[in-house]
Amino acid sequence: MPLLHKIAGVVVVLAVVLGLWLPGDPGGGRSADVARTGGNRAAGEEAPGDRTAAVAAGKPSAKPSAPPPATVGPAAPAAAAAKANELGQIPVIMYHRIVDRPDLPLDRTPKEFREELVRLAGEGYVPITAGEFASGHINVPAGRSPVVLTFDDSTPSHFALDPAGRPKPNTAVAIIQEVARQHPGFRATATFYLNKDLFQLAGQEAAGLRWLMRNGFELGNHTLTHKDLSTLPKEGVQKEIGDMESKIVQLTGARTATLAYPFGSAPDKKGWAEKKDGVYGFKGVFLAGWRPAPSPFDTDFDRLAIPRVRSEGKVKENDCEQFCSTAWLDRLKAEPATRYVSDGDPGTITFPRAEEDRLARELRGRGRVY
């Protein structure tokens, strides 16, 4: 046999032996893949290059799945015993003037106001501020319910000080403090939505506003001159809000957390009212509407359109027989399962299991069910 033929035969034999000894695909590529990936893939697992190849071939590529929602945990026994429902409704009550002789539709007398507060205290409500509500910082004892007391237009009937520096009798502030003293657990707080007149404090604006803040009350923005924002362009909206905010900051050194629309009218774009860099930025914006607000933990909660309930008895005017404060408080009393009831722990959100779908997804880690 010629020498070249012998050499060729040896090469063929060596190739067969090596092929049996070093397993791999015929193209030699799999051994490189194993080295890159650190081991064999499970059956059906996509190789690193497969997705690119599929896209190039026009095949759809699998998208990364969203992270699974956090798990809702079990409620504390005390919270279940209190029948906590922190996805229930919260009344945000809207007041205007508190006067002895009402002559405007939104007026209430000191007697009517006092009676409504006594009712709230007796039915287990605890006042919180509008800013606390809008940001979801609700710290109320177990079994009790939050209520937000709001006052529009900063009139002297809301707040005035006597020569001794005490709130004048029958003003809103004086009545709130009176009821709080008589009903332990009823917190003496409210949110006052300010216009430029500032309770007609006549040179004592800074001292008066600081007194309110120092004594647990909150200040809110109600625009400088109470114009209907729905009629104004962007510049007009921002000037009305911004000028009022600047005035409050000048007098108190602090910005407000919330805005209430004059007449409940929103501008063409909510963003104009929500914030203006370096001037104002609100956690919540309140309407003048006709129903309790959803819980700030509810998927339906819109912090830029928070409804309020007008304070009024069951009178025929403006459908108050159904939609003002007396009617709504009656309904929440008759249907307690619809009312926000606290679990006593501001770090958790407790509710009956049947309500679980209403909890905002990003809050599920705080959720507790029973």
Q: CB-hemisphere CA count at 13 Å for 199? A: 27
Task: Reduce the DSSP state of residue 237 to 3 states and report it.
Answer: helix
Question: What is the full per-residue pLDDT of the chain (370 aa) written as tens digits?
Answer: 444 444 344 333 344 333 433 344 333 333 333 233 333 333 333 333 333 333 334 444 455 666 777 899 999 999 999 999 999 999 999 999 999 999 998 999 999 999 999 999 999 999 999 999 999 999 999 999 999 999 999 999 999 999 999 999 999 999 999 999 999 999 999 999 999 999 999 999 999 999 999 999 999 999 999 999 999 999 999 999 999 999 999 999 999 999 999 999 999 999 999 999 999 999 999 999 899 999 999 999 999 999 999 999 999 888 999 999 999 999 999 999 999 999 999 999 999 999 999 999 999 999 999 9
d(CA 289, CA 93): 10
Half-sphere exposure of 207 (CA within 13 A, CB side): 11
The token duo for 42 is 């499970």
CA dist., res. 218 & res. 129, Å (int) = 7
Q: How far apart are CA 84 and CA 74, in angstroms?
A: 13
Pairing outcome for strands 275-276 and 280-281? antiparallel
What is the pLDDT at residue 318? 84
DSSP code at position 200:
G
What's the CA gap between 153 and 197, in Å, rounded?
A: 8
What are the E-state strand segments in the chain? 73-74, 92-95, 125-128, 145-152, 191-194, 218-221, 258-260, 275-276, 280-281, 284-286, 309-310, 349-351, 367-369
The 8-class DSSP code of residue 305 comes to S
Give every CB contact of residue 124 below 8 A, 6+ residues apart in sequence. 143, 144, 145
Round the CA-based radius of gyration of the chain to a whole number and report it. 33
Q: What is the pLDDT of residue 282?
A: 98
| C-alpha 234: how far from chain center | 25
Residue keyed to tokens 């040896």: 10
Instruction: Give Cα separations from 220 to 151, 253, 303 (angstroms).
Output: 9, 14, 15
Q: At residue 292, what are phi and psi to the nearest 5 degrees?
A: -60, 160
Structural contact between residues 325 and 115, judged by C-beta atoms closer than 8 angstroms:
no
Contact 345, 79 (CB under 8 A): yes
Cβ-count burial of 292 within 10 angstroms (0-12 exposed, 13-18 middle, 19+ buried)? Answer: buried
263: left (phi over 0), alpha (psi -120 to 50) or beta: left
